[in-house]
Chain A
């Protein structure tokens, strides 16, 4: 049965606190549906991070732990070690995943810790006001690249491809986009299944929109998302 809101959502905390048009809301809705459809809300523990993802601290009727700087990965890895039957989700932005917490992300993938990491990539540090992140595309003007991101800061970092390089062959690694909500749900379900069935690491990067910091209306937000999609290929990274 299709519902308007996922059953696993905590309706007392809706409407949510994300900015109007924020991609997080689309992604968290699909995550809710994925968890509902898999029948695992009671078996899941949700780890979130600092930055915009922290606004989801009471988003679901699911035990939730909020930490910072990508440390949600080692927290969920430690949790999963002692609770192997629980589904461990680590949800964060690309700043936590690819900059300050990259070391932990790579090593969790390298060790094949059986957790599912979800990275929302909106190519900027949104909570702090739109600074450059590792995945900001070259030439993009941000609060810390007033003349556009130059080659001195590297190209846009491809997280899933980077993780693939160190991950076990049983790890499921993919990229989705908020332009295709159903695709997000399918990716999340496959990733969670990989954790449950193969006791293996899984990683979903979701390209997202940030109208507030991008200073874009709905149409321009999705135009920019298309640009991201042309640089960051959607689909499983094998």
Chain B
């Protein structure tokens, strides 16, 4: 396992992750807070003539450019945020149906339309369930600069192994914040393989069907593959959750704030732990069930209006647990606030 210590931003970590994963081309359009991913990638292409980039006319073209390059059998990706992420739902819907290993790194912005250019967790619905499909796409949520690097590498492997579009979500600040990190590359990344035959029998990739049954067959296969893969893809982290009477559920940077709040809460003899989904889609249901086995109360903190909570509630088995949702759309949480919220309820 290769390790390296660096002082870098989340956006820089994303670029290093894409490089480590073997990405060869990036398509993108400048947008805060993800712009430095495009710029950082372009800087890498200056030093390596095997790497390419295209600054496209919009994010729709960026996404379809990714699809084109992937159809050429090459690892390709884009990075965007907010309104750009909305436009990317068009190519990602096609990638979802045609099983194209699309990779997108989304640094979430606040609010609808252009909103703020800062922080939010409001692109969870979009990443997991956006587009005219059923949400058969993988969504990682990074909670630190180091994780941004690791998840980007993993995203390429997941995308190519299972042929699923895969997003890595960061919450705005994560792209811009700088941290000293030890980069740990996960196991060797899954190689890119050709999607078109090119020389042999012709390959036909379409996303149009003339009958409900014909499309139904494709969707049934995609859903069956998804159900088989989801247990292998789903990841989570549990911290002191086992046996705890209270469990906080959070993701991304909010989960990092919870980690800072936990020691103080626990020092006050509060039985409390953290369950942090690493993949928001598919969710680690087994991990969630284990982490909440002894829980009487669950706190769901998120910087959006119940987008993450809906995913948790759907997967949570029916049980006598009180669920306290603390949504704070497009605003962050400090550890002190989290402590205050929990103490206010208990």
Contacts and interface: CB of A to CB of B under 8 A. Distances in A.
Interface in B189-235: 196-199, 201-208
A67 B72 contact: no
Nearest to B74: A82
B67 A78 contact: yes
Contact of A104 (B61, B66, B94, B201): B61
A150 interface: no
Nearest to A113: B54
Interface string A69-108: 1010111111111110010000000000000000110110
A71 B208 contact: no
Contacts of A79: 68-69, 71-72
B65 A78 contact: yes
B20 interface: no
Contacts of B199: 42
B91 interface: yes
B196 A45 contact: yes
Contact of A60 (B54, B198, B202): B202
Given A45-B198, A78-B67, A107 B61 contact: yes
Interface of B is mostly: mixed
A107 B69 contact: no
Given A57-B208, A104-B57, A75 B67 contact: yes
A66 B207 contact: yes
Contacts of A64: 202-206
B61 A54 contact: no
A175 B314 CA distance: 56
A83 B73 CA distance: 9
Nearest to B27: A78
A63 interface: yes
Interface string A32-71: 0000000000100100001000100110111111111101
Interface in B236-280: none
A81 B205 contact: no
Nearest to A82: B72
B52 A67 contact: no
A76 B109 CA distance: 31
A82 B75 CA distance: 10
A117 to B, nearest CB: 14
Which of B62, B66, B94, B199 has the most C-beta atoms of chain A within 10 angstroms of its own C-beta?
A: B94
Given A74-B68, A76-B68, A81 B52 contact: yes
Contacts of B71: 45, 65, 75, 78-79
Interface residues of A, number: 35
B154 interface: no
Contact of B197 (A63, A66, A68, A86): A63
B64 A57 contact: no
A124 to B, nearest CB: 19
B180 interface: no
Contacts of A63: 196-198, 202-204
A103 B69 contact: no
Nearest to B66: A78
A62 B204 CA distance: 8
A82 B67 contact: no
Contacts of A75: 64-65, 67-68, 71
Interface string B42-72: 0000000000101011101110111111011
A57 B90 CA distance: 20
A52 B197 CA distance: 25
Interface string B65-89: 1111101111010000000000000
A77 B68 contact: yes
Contacts of B201: 61
Given A45-B196, A65-B71, A77 B54 contact: yes
B24 interface: yes
B25 A82 contact: yes
A60 B202 CA distance: 8
A144 interface: no
Nearest to A48: B206
A81 B60 contact: no
Contact of B61 (A60, A61, A81, A103): A103
A51 to B, nearest CB: 10
Given A42-B198, A67-B64, 6 more contacts: A65-B205, A77-B54, A78-B66, A79-B72, A81-B52, A106-B57
Interface of A: 10, 42, 45, 50, 54, 57-58, 60-69, 71, 73-83, 86, 103-104, 106-107, 111
Q: Enumerate the 9 nearest inter-chain pairs by beta-carbon distance, A residue then B residue, closest first.
A: A78-B68, A78-B65, A79-B68, A82-B72, A74-B61, A107-B57, A66-B206, A74-B64, A75-B68
10 contacts: A45-B196, A57-B204, A65-B71, A66-B206, A71-B61, A78-B64, A79-B68, A82-B72, A83-B72, A107-B61
